[in-house]
């Protein structure tokens, strides 16, 4: 009985495992089925959209072409009217002159016949008057009438090669692509932003520029956020935990038109944006509180971030402008500590604007170039050793990389407690410093 019970338990276990495997298999098949349905939907929707675009484009072309042909016809007809009117006008004037001469000749004939057949008493006087009148009219002067070869003979010259040219151009106009030449590749969460990367998927396509657009999933229109030659871009001012749609296209080398858009993809960030703490005298903040300006106030102190928004694995970038001083500091710390004029203290790492690097208040041997106008200082950190919990006296080690002006220093920062997130801060002795964090 015990062997039978054991065998039954074994069979039950195998049956349960088979059932779970079947469930997992069914879930996987259902997921693939949904993927196939989405692929079919994408093909059909993109085909419908492409048909609409083609029909609209060629209808617009036909309308534009008809208008151009109509305008050209009107222009040519006006040219015919002008030539006709300008050519007929001198002929009309000549006709009036000839008709006037015929009328004058008729009157002169009647007068001459009357003078010849008149009374004898008045014959000499009439004949004399008629002869003088005939001499005055100059009967030997005739108006010049142009020959047919000297007057315009209108015709239309229509080159049939236009149809051949149009036919050749129309047959080559437009293409249908089964896949866009570029596609979105990766989304990396950033504080208040998303790093978007894309790549070229058509080996024959030579890109000159890329164009990235985005929109909130609730919005109806995309908007440009980047145009350039890079294949990645950090989109800032992104609301945390909100879905955004992204798409990218490219412009081929030497071409003006943009390629088809990539397949839109959803990106989001769960990280709140970096912000400075408000209310500290000596610093003025931008509306988004990501830019701090050291003002003319004599008050000094450390300006901290609003929250510990820096996480290991992220890159904290700080752009600065101003006059350097050895007492200045830019860096990160475990906690806010009021009463200090600088981050050159315990539980903090920082760089002075003259390039000195401080770890827990101690200056390192290695130095970086001085932070000058337009410099960018970046902090990269990763956990390299996690000991027992801090309550048991363990250590937490961070490998820190500080970069400035194409130089960097790397060191291990040992702390007595586990820090999943850190504050960032700054302090400046002179006014004019402007610090942007992202």
**pLDDT tens digits for range 151-186:** 888 888 888 888 888 888 888 888 888 889 999 999
Same-domain pairing of 81 and 113 = yes
Helix (H, G, I), strand (E, B) or coil at 285: strand
Are 341 and 427 a contacting pair, CB within 8 Å?
A: yes
Spatial distance between the Cα atoms of 126 and 295, rounded to a whole number of angstroms: 120
Spatial distance between the Cα atoms of 240 and 285, rounded to a whole number of angstroms: 21
| 272 domain-assigned | no
- Stretch 399-424: mean pLDDT, rounded? 90
Are 306 and 292 a contacting pair, CB within 8 Å?
A: no
Could you tell me which residue, 197 or 110, shows the higher pLDDT?
A: 197
How does pLDDT run across 129-156, given as a tens digit for each residue?
767 776 677 666 777 888 888 888 888 8
| C-beta neighbour count of 28 within 10 angstroms | 10
| C-beta neighbour count of 139 within 10 angstroms | 12
Same-domain pairing of 254 and 289 = no
Is pLDDT above 50 for 76?
yes
The pLDDT confidence band at residue 399, using thresholds 50, 70 and 90, is very high
Same-domain pairing of 425 and 294 = yes
- Stretch 235-250: mean pLDDT, rounded? 94
Spatial distance between the Cα atoms of 272 and 264, rounded to a whole number of angstroms: 24
| 5 domain-assigned | no
Q: Per DSSP, what are the bridge partners of residue 333?
A: 348, 423
The number of distinct structural domains making up the chain is 3
DSSP codes of every residue in 144-177: ----GGGS--------THHHHHHHHHHHHS----
Is pLDDT above 70 for 394?
no
pLDDT of residue 71: 95
Mean pLDDT of the chain: 87
- Going by the DSSP 8-state scheme, the letter that residue 343 receives in this structure is S
How does pLDDT run across 378-392, given as a tens digit for each residue?
999 998 865 554 444
Domain boundary among 129, 151, 172: 172
HSE-up of residue 90 (Cα within 13 Å, Cβ side) = 10
pLDDT of residue 392: 43
pLDDT of residue 390: 42
What does the chain come to in residues? 438
| 2 domain-assigned | no
| 277 domain-assigned | no
pLDDT of residue 213: 97
pLDDT of residue 199: 94
Q: Per DSSP, what are the bridge partners of residue 411?
A: 400
Are 119 and 104 a contacting pair, CB within 8 Å?
A: no
Spatial distance between the Cα atoms of 274 and 269, rounded to a whole number of angstroms: 13
Same-domain pairing of 122 and 257 = no
Same-domain pairing of 57 and 146 = yes
- Going by the DSSP 8-state scheme, the letter that residue 231 receives in this structure is S
Domain boundary among 142, 172, 202: 172
Spatial distance between the Cα atoms of 228 and 378, rounded to a whole number of angstroms: 23
For residue 75, the Cα-to-chain-centroid distance in whole angstroms is 40
How does pLDDT run across 20-47, given as a tens digit for each residue?
999 999 999 999 999 999 889 989 988 9
Is pLDDT above 70 for 337?
yes
How does pLDDT run across 300-316, given as a tens digit for each residue?
889 999 999 998 878 88
The pLDDT confidence band at residue 233, using thresholds 50, 70 and 90, is very high
Spatial distance between the Cα atoms of 424 and 191, rounded to a whole number of angstroms: 13
Spatial distance between the Cα atoms of 187 and 198, rounded to a whole number of angstroms: 9
Domain span at residue 62 reads: 14-172
| C-beta neighbour count of 16 within 10 angstroms | 10
- Stretch 334-346: mean pLDDT, rounded? 91
Same-domain pairing of 89 and 150 = yes
pTM as predicted:
0.64
pLDDT of residue 116: 72
Quick one: what percent of the chain has pLDDT higher than 70? 93
HSE-up of residue 280 (Cα within 13 Å, Cβ side) = 24
Same-domain pairing of 345 and 410 = yes
Q: Could you tell me what percentage of the chain is helix, strand and coil, using 3-state DSSP and rounding each to the nearest 5? A: 35, 30, 35
| 273 domain-assigned | no
């Amino acid at each position: 009985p015990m062997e039978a019970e054991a065998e039954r338990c074994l069979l039950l276990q195998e049956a349960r495992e088979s059932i779970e495997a079947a469930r997992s298999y069914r879930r996987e098949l259902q997921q693939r089925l949904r993927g196939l349905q989405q692929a079919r939907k994408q093909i059909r929707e993109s085909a419908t959209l492409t048909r609409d675009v083609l029909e609209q484009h060629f209808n617009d072309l036909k309308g534009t072409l008809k208008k151009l042909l109509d305008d050209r016809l009107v222009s040519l007809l006006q040219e015919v009217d002008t030539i006709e009117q300008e050519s007929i006008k001198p002929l009309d004037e000549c006709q009036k002159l000839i008709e006037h001469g015929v009328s004058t000749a008729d009157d002169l004939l009647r007068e001459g016949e009357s003078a010849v057949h008149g009374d004898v008493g008045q014959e000499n006087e009439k004949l004399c008057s008629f002869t003088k009148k005939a001499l005055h009219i100059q009967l030997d002067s005739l108006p010049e009438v142009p020959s047919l070869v000297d007057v315009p003979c209108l015709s239309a010259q229509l080159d049939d090669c236009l149809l051949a040219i149009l036919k050749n151009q129309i047959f080559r106009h437009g293409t249908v692509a089964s896949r866009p030449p570029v596609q979105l590749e990766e989304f990396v969460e950033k504080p208040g932003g998303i790093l978007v990367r894309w790549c070229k998927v058509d080996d024959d396509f030579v890109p000159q520029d890329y164009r990235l657009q985005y929109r909130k999933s609730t919005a109806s229109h995309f908007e440009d956020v980047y145009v350039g030659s890079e294949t990645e871009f950090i989109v800032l001012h992104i609301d945390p935990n909100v879905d955004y749609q992204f798409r990218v296209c490219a412009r081929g080398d030497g071409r003006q038109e943009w390629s088809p858009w990539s397949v839109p993809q959803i990106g989001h960030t769960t990280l709140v944006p970096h912000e400075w703490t408000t209310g500290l005298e000596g610093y003025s903040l931008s509306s988004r509180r990501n830019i701090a300006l050291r003002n003319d106030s004599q008050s000094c102190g450390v300006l901290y971030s609003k929250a510990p928004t820096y996480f290991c694995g992220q890159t904290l970038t700080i752009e600065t402008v101003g006059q350097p001083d050895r007492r200045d500091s830019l860096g990160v710390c475990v906690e806010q500590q009021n009463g200090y004029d600088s981050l050159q203290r315990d539980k903090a790492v920082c760089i002075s604007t003259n390039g000195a690097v401080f770890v827990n208040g101690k200056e390192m041997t290695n130095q970086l170039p001085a932070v000058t106008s337009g410099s960018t200082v970046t902090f990269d950190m990763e956990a390299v050793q996690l000991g027992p919990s801090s309550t048991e006296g363990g250590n937490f080690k961070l490998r820190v990389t500080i970069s400035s002006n194409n130089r960097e220093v790397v060191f291990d920062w040992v702390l007595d407690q586990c820090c999943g997130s850190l504050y960032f801060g700054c302090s400046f002795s002179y006014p004019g410093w402007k610090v942007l964090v992202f």
